[in-house]
Amino acid sequence: MLVRIVKMSFKHQKVDEFLSNFDANKAKIRGFEGCDFLELYRDQYNTNVFFTYSYWNSESDLNNYRHSDLFKAIWSKTKPLFNAKPEAWSVDKLASLK
């Protein structure tokens, strides 16, 4: 399993537009083949900074999503809203406690 973390910082006046686009597409992202989990987080102090946290069965599944028409459509609406370059990490989960 691959865990993908993406940090995104938006123009303050564009946050609602981002949230609307995410809400409209979150089920499609989660339903994409190979995606087993999806969450969206918002920084408590910098409320224009968000993180997506997703689980993918493999790097190949993530890459299939990143090259899909779905991703291209979402990204084309998201990219103009940024006020900083997004950052992304693909990580392996080493421990999980509940």
pTM over 0.85: yes
Domain residue limits, the chain = 2-91
| Domain 2-91 listed as CATH 3.40.50.300 | no
Q: For 7-59, how does the pLDDT look when each residue is reduced to its tens digit (9 = 90+)? A: 999 999 999 999 999 999 999 999 999 999 999 999 999 999 999 999 999 99
Place of tokens 């991703």: 71
Question: How confident is the model at residue 35, as a pLDDT?
Answer: 98
The DSSP secondary structure of 2-55, one letter per residue, reads: EEEEEEEEB-GGGHHHHHHHHHHHHHHHHTSTTEEEEEEEE-SSSTTEEEEEEE
